[in-house]
Amino acid sequence: MSAIEAMSSEAEVARARAALAVNVCAARGLQEVLRTSLGPKGTVKMLVSGAGDIKLTKDGNVLLHEMQIQHPTASLIAKVATAQDDITGDGTTSNVLIIGELLKQADLYISEGLHPRIIAEGFEAAKEKALEVLEEVKIKKEMEREILLDVARTSLQTKVHAKLADVLTEAVVDSVLAVRRPGYPVDLFMVEIVEMKHKSETDTKLIDHGARHPAMKKRVEDAFILTCNVSLEYEKTEVSSGFFYKTAEEKENLVKAERKFIEDRVQKIIDLKDKVCALSNKGFVVINQKGIDPFSLDVLAKHGIVVLRRAKRRNMERLSLACGGMAVNSLEDLCIDCLGHAGLVPEYTLGEKKFTFIENCVNPLSVTLLVKGPNNHTLTQVKDAVRDGLRAVKNAIEDGCVVPGAGAVEVAIAEALVTYKHSVKGRARLGVQAFADALLIIPKVLAQNSGYDLQETLVKVQAEHSESKQIIGIDLNTGEPMVAADAGIWDNYCVKKQLLHSCAVIATNLLLVDEIMRAGLSSLKG
């Protein structure tokens, strides 16, 4: 009996060549959108939300997250590219470009009658060889500050304009080096990013919020820091229980006893301050997670203690890492070991808010990056760039190696693949050739976005690479070939590795699709 195909009349079906055409069109459509955003000379996209909010960005990850993508194939490619960002923090735009180009190159051969499975085998062989070449061209380096600055600058210049990238580079590298601990993985949660509408420069400081007593100093130098989570507020007992008094004196005595309970706690802080500051002229700052009532603030202010109350929990965790000492939950065992230290604790008024900065910590394991900008979309753009910069520095430290940037790696791998294809038997070598041609999309687009002729630039770079046998990239300021390593343009090894893996896998999967069914709603009922 012949097979019966039951399908809704509303379902859409695309088979064989039509299915491939759908996938190739979607990949190339997405490629065209992101193409102009690649590299430091890429253009910026303006995204406008339904509410009229404007976002200016050239970060591929942000674009793919914010764009409303309807097409299923384009949506799949976007998810792969954003997964690349989640894993390595960069390479989103390159991912989309290479997948689109792999499908375009494959389509040329398939239109001449080559089976997609043979091209897929060629892609797989090319991927293995490309990863071997990547291992050869990677450069192991001691990750010192200068190298990390180059890595961060290369990443940041593709997200924001060069002048701002130079300012952010040092802030990003210094913050990662501050929280880096030998023998432990780099924890980027220890770098908090705080944004603020204020002028246009960026700076890096550790900050905390909190209102306090007007009589307290606005600036404390060479200060001991006590971080605690203890209530110093007078709390009426009647809230949760009822009392019957015989006389008014009994009520007065109860109130005094309750007040004394808080006063004893305050006195313990004052005693510790007198003990550690008796022989020196050091300041004393208390940062409390819970509330402090006006009476306690008065008493502490009279003894020259600066107090911040109701600090956020995440700030408390970072403060003990930044300043040293321990966060205490009880004032019973107060000792000098509980105290941290900071060189300077000033209060600044920025805009309408007051901020307390905690600076000059001896060995901080946590920092806060303060991002300033004149308006919301600038702040958002800088924040996204800073996150990518932090990830780039972290990747470089954890990889222990870097690879040359400026399209140099792609040119080197493409040339190696052209040589390698002669050792591949059968028609699979056409898949290797397609893979090599597809990788060249990166140097081509870098040159095109910088305003140079892409064919001429690529030919120059390939000729220089063949003659010098060095890893040659494109100088985007002149359009001429250059040795990327000498110019200090470094990419992350793990980003390139992930890129080669994911692009080949997704392109292969999309090539092998020979039927697309988009079922109508009626077929989902019952």
Q: Is 93 a catalytic residue?
A: yes
| Strand 367-373 to 481-483 pairing | unpaired
Q: Choosing from 57, 73, 82, 93, which is the catalytic residue?
A: 93
| Rounded CA separation 470/485 (Å) | 10
State which H helix or E strand residue 255 sits in: helix 248-277
State which H helix or E strand residue 55 sits in: strand 54-57
| Rounded CA separation 403/20 (Å) | 35
Extract the runs of DSSP E, i.e. beta strands, from 181-260. Answer: 191-197, 203-204, 207-208, 219-228
Are 243 and 391 in contact, with CB atoms under 8 Å apart? no
With b meaning 16 or more CB within 10 Å and e meaning fewer, what string describes 322-334? bbbbebbeebeeb
Residues 6+ apart with CB under 8 A from 414: 436, 437, 439, 440
User: Tokens 């000033």, residue?
Assistant: 346
Q: Is 388 a catalytic residue?
A: yes
Q: Is 333 a catalytic residue?
A: no
| Of residues 475, 503, 507, the one with CA closest to residue 488 | 475
DSSP tally for the chain: helices H, then strands E: 16, 18
User: Tokens 């985007």, residue?
Assistant: 476
Q: In Å, what is the CA distance from 46 to each residue of 62, 131, 218? A: 11, 36, 42
Q: Choosing from 90, 107, 208, 388, which is the catalytic residue?
A: 388
Adjacent-strand bridge partners of 204: 369
Q: Choosing from 57, 82, 88, 92, which is the catalytic residue?
A: 92
Q: For residue 506, what are its two tokens? A: 């997704």
In degrees and rounded to multiples of 5, residue 484 shows phi and psi of: -60, -35
Q: For residue 90, what are its two tokens? A: 């960069």
| Rounded CA separation 391/371 (Å) | 17
Q: Choosing from 59, 85, 90, 107, which is the catalytic residue?
A: 59
Q: Is the Cα dihedral 152, 153, 155, 156 positive or negative? A: positive
Q: Is 150 a catalytic residue?
A: no
Active centre residues (catalytic): 59, 92-93, 388
